[in-house]
Structure 1
Amino acid sequence: MRSGASHRAVSEQLGVPPGTVTWWRHIDRKKRGEVTERAPVECPRCTRKSIDGQAYSYLLGLYLGDGHIISREKQHHLSIFCTATWTGLIQEAETAMRKVMTRPRISHRERRGCVEVKSFSRHWPCLFPQHGPGKKMDRLIALEQWQKDIVDEFPWDLLRGLIHSDGCRVNNWTTKIVRGERKRYEYPRYFFTNKSDDIRRLCTDTLDRLGIAGTHCTRDGRPFNISVARRADVALMDEHIGPKH
């Protein structure tokens, strides 16, 4: 390695995991008194640098829907779960992470039927103070003022993130009797489904801000679903949100 060999090359040559090689390298440097420079802080909240509000609002929606943060000592990783066939969504999640945090280490982990997009940084909890133990539906989810300011400026991006994570666009159908004949009618409809009352309220507040009529639909007797069915509203959401792909 001192002569320029990569970690991966050494790992393959010796038949040991790359992490083991990294650890050996760290111990070797420590014994020889080498001082490694720490990477500069990348967190826009800690450095008070400007944040890409559009990317953040979208990523916030993804996090509230299908994301979580895992915390360990001196390390945190943000995970967004995407259906494996939605390669466009996977790429959009990664792009949003890179725009929000300037130098994230991002990886994809394939799971059964989905892909976990993971970004490692100890500063993700700074950007998502809603992080905490347990499920989001079991704890308070309230935006801080700086988050509200971003969402107020980019409401469509938050709504897009919510729909792309815990929402869908479907074609509903119904029948009507017209001149004695039963006819079938189909119409598009958006749904957002989440068990957290706070997250659903954030969704409906955003819909209200955008002038879109959303109604609650019950599932198992509880209002887990928010529906948007009015033709003009669906057309407006088609224009700003678009399908998962």
Structure 2
Amino acid sequence: MYDVSTRTRALALVAQGRSLNSVSKETGISRAAIRSWQTRIEPLPRMRQGFCSLCGPTAKPPEDRAAYAYLLGLYLGDGCISPGARSGYFLRIACADAWPGLVDACAAAVQAVNPSGKAHRVQAVGYTSVVGYSGHWPCFFPQHGPGKKHDRRIALDPWQQTIVDAHPWAFVRGLIHSDGCRITNWTQRSVGGVLKRYEYPRYFFTNVSADIRRLYTDTLDSLGVEWTRCTRNGIPFNISVARRASVVLMDAHVGPKY
């Protein structure tokens, strides 16, 4: 969600005769969002008023907890929740088209967690948004709130932490599938005067939010996976897993995107 001042600035660029595409590229805001602001600039209410009809005053965990742990990882990386019609909300997870298996896995998780059992795919340029509609999403994802995730505190509720503790690999897999990757690094060493090339696999996780990175590394610690911070330009946004035994664990439970 964007505040009114951000929306006003984007609309001012459009008023200058700029195309929606050029304004979107400059601001990082989707063309659909800018188009919708031309008819309504005020943000819709973010959260429901009163208790949830399914949960009451306290959020109830979803039944498929393994699917939820995976979807939680995807949401923290590439997901958002926005108000829809009446009291409903849209959960959207952006998945790159380069990984069709990821799109399928995301859709299956949304279907498993969504009380309606439904998930839809919305094609965009270079990616597919997996979308689920429900009035229940703010209960399942209390991290939903105003602004970008890295600009606000992100912490798990106790019931969420219980699920992550029970299904840590599903959570790690969701985080890697959203903001991570498995790559092959290489180095050269001189052996007997001959320069030889060595290749080795490595996992990276990159997220601007220190809270989300901490959730990732805390879970790796609980699994016995060794990790290091990779600082670039003085900013420690990257978490690396490169030790052979730890990569073997990650390969067995996470694997590359597909």
Bin the TM-score by the shorter chain: 0.7 to 0.9
Look up the match of 1:180: 193
Q: Does residue 208 of structure 1 match 2:221?
A: yes
State the AA in 2 paired with 1:142: A
Map 1:15-164; keep pairs closer than 5 Å. 48=60, 51-72=63-84, 73-164=86-177
For residue 104 of structure 1, report the CA deviation from its aligned partner: 4.2
Distance 2:54 2:105 in 1: 20
TM value normalised by structure 2: 0.75
Aligned length: 206
Q: Which runs of 5+ in 1 are unaligned?
A: 1-40
Q: Which runs of 5+ in 2 are unaligned?
A: 1-52
| Secondary structure in 2 matching 1:142 | coil
| Secondary structure in 2 matching 1:218 | strand
Q: Is the 8 A contact 1:215 1:226 kept in 2?
A: yes
Look up the match of 2:31: none
Between 158-167 and 98-107, report the one with greater CA deviation. Answer: 98-107
Look up the match of 2:9: none
State the AA in 2 paired with 1:130: Q
Between 96-105 and 122-131, report the one with greater CA deviation. Answer: 96-105
Distance 1:45 1:230 in 2: 45
State the AA in 1 paired with 2:108: T
| Secondary structure in 2 matching 1:120 | strand
| Secondary structure in 2 matching 1:237 | helix
Distance 1:88 1:209 in 2: 27
Q: Is the 8 A contact 1:80 1:117 kept in 2?
A: yes
TM value normalised by structure 1: 0.79
| Secondary structure in 1 matching 2:119 | strand
Q: Does residue 239 of structure 1 match 2:252?
A: yes
Look up the match of 2:24: none
Distance 1:47 1:125 in 2: 9
Distance 1:45 1:135 in 2: 26
For residue 180 of structure 1, report the CA deviation from its aligned partner: 1.4
Distance 2:112 2:257 in 1: 20
For residue 43 of structure 1, report the CA deviation from its aligned partner: 6.3
Runs of 4+ in 1 over 4 A off after TM superposition: 41-50
Distance 2:256 2:56 in 1: 30
Q: Does residue 198 of structure 1 match 2:211?
A: yes
Distance 1:233 1:241 in 2: 11
State the AA in 2 paired with 1:182: L
Distance 1:46 1:200 in 2: 27
For residue 101 of structure 1, report the CA deviation from its aligned partner: 2.0
